[in-house]
Amino acid sequence: MNVKNPQAILRLKIVIIVLISFLILISLILISCHPQGKVEKLSTTPPVLYDALTNQPIPTTQQWLIPVNQFSSNAIETNLKLTELSKSLGEHAWLSPSSTFNNQSSQLHFYLDFGGQQSSRKDAEFYVLPICTNGTLTQACTSLSLQPTSTPIFNFNTANNTEYQAIQTNQSWHFYGHSDAYVLPVIHSQQLQFLVNAQIPTGYQNTWLRLSINENPITPKPSSFFLGRNKLTYFPFLLLFIPLLAAYLYRMDKGFQSYRNLSIGLLVCILFAIHSVIWDLHYMVLGCLLLSLAGVLYAFARSLYRLVYGIGALIIAGYAQQFYNGFNSAFLMQTGLIFLIGIGLFFRTPD
Mark whether 295 and 214 lie in a shared domain.
Answer: no
Taking only the tens place, the pLDDT of each residue in 233-248 is 788 888 899 999 999 9
Chain center to CA of 129:
28
pLDDT at position 290 is 95
Q: How far apart are CA 62 and CA 233, in angstroms?
A: 34
Mark whether 49 and 153 lie in a shared domain.
Answer: yes
Taking only the tens place, the pLDDT of each residue in 72-82 is 888 888 887 77
Q: Per-residue pLDDT averaged across 4-12, rounded? A: 69
The total of structural domains in the chain comes to: 2
pLDDT at position 195 is 94
Taking only the tens place, the pLDDT of each residue in 273-289 is 999 999 988 999 999 99
pLDDT at position 213 is 93
Residue 113 corresponds to which amino acid?
A: D
Q: How far apart are CA 106 and CA 316, in angstroms?
A: 37
Q: Provide the whole-model pTM.
A: 0.61
Mark whether 207 and 231 lie in a shared domain.
Answer: no
Q: 25 in a domain, yes or no?
A: no
Chain center to CA of 269:
30
Mark whether 164 and 272 lie in a shared domain.
Answer: no
Mark whether 172 and 243 lie in a shared domain.
Answer: no
Residue 113 pLDDT > 90, yes or no? yes
Write down the mean pLDDT value for the chain.
84
Under a CB-based contact definition with an 8 Å cutoff, are residues 46 and 208 in contact? yes
Mark whether 240 and 336 lie in a shared domain.
Answer: yes
Q: Which of residues 192, 219, 246 is at a domain's end?
A: 219
pLDDT at position 325 is 67
pLDDT, greater one: 124 or 100: 124
Q: 342 in a domain, yes or no?
A: yes
Residue 30 pLDDT > 70, yes or no? no
Q: Which of residues 169, 204, 219 is at a domain's end?
A: 219
Residue 138 pLDDT > 70, yes or no? yes
